[in-house]
Amino acid sequence: MSCAGLAAFIASCTDSTGVITTGPLGDEPDATPVQPGDPDARPSVDARIGAPDAGSAGPACTGGQVDCGAASAIAIGTPKRISGTNVYIVRDAGGLFAVSSKCTHEGAQNNVTSGHFHCPRHSANFNFDGSIISGPVSRALAHYALCVLANGNVGVDTVTTVAATQRLAL
């Protein structure tokens, strides 16, 4: 392939920002960032109560998860900091999700302020879904896997990161 042909091929793989995007390989999760308004931005759901593969309470934990308490104790739009972790559990219209409480700039502890997360170190701000509002950050907050513990409470696995759109619907 000539240099001109290669340049044309690469140009056909980029989006309006010039970023080359690819899909997942094999069974790997899709790590391509999703922009607001994109049809793929809808939350995905791990399981819904009564769904054929969900059992009666959502996906079961396999061990090593932190107990976050009862799902009913987490109100829509009110993040709950999980003691002893760097995690907030948040509920939105799609369900529950776990987001890192650490700023992606220098790792400072984010606080909940006026309807968003705020980093006190350099004033970075994040939406409750972990997306960036402002500040010296270039990465959104990490999301972690949620499951249902044997006692019926929500469990978070801080070792396993998941897509920002993934939700546990309870």
At residue 86, does pLDDT exceed 70? yes
21/86 Cα distance (integer angstroms): 30
CATH number 2.102.10.10 given to 43-169: yes
Backbone φ, ψ for residue 64 (5° rounding): 90, 5
| pTM of the complete model | 0.66
How would residue 58 be classed by pLDDT, with cut points 50, 70 and 90?
low
145/68 Cα distance (integer angstroms): 12
Q: Taking Cα atoms as reference points, which of 42, 68, 55 lies closest to residue 157?
A: 68
| CB 62 within 8 Å of CB 75 | no
The predicted-structure confidence for 2-18, as pLDDT tens digits, reads as follows 445 444 444 454 444 44
Q: pLDDT exceeding 70 applies to what percent of the chain?
A: 66
170/128 Cα distance (integer angstroms): 19
Joined tokens for residue 58 = 């959502």
Tell me how long the chain is. 170
Tell me which DSSP letter residue 83 carries. Answer: T
At residue 72, does pLDDT exceed 70? yes
The predicted-structure confidence for 121-135, as pLDDT tens digits, reads as follows 999 999 999 999 999
At residue 27, does pLDDT exceed 50? no
| CB 134 within 8 Å of CB 125 | yes
- In the chain, the amino acid numbered 17 is T
The predicted-structure confidence for 87-139, as pLDDT tens digits, reads as follows 999 999 999 999 999 999 999 999 999 999 999 999 999 999 999 999 999 99
Helices (DSSP H) in 19-170: which residue ranges? none
State the pLDDT at residue 31.
40
Q: Taking Cα atoms as reference points, which of 87, 91, 105, 104 lies closest to residue 143?
A: 87
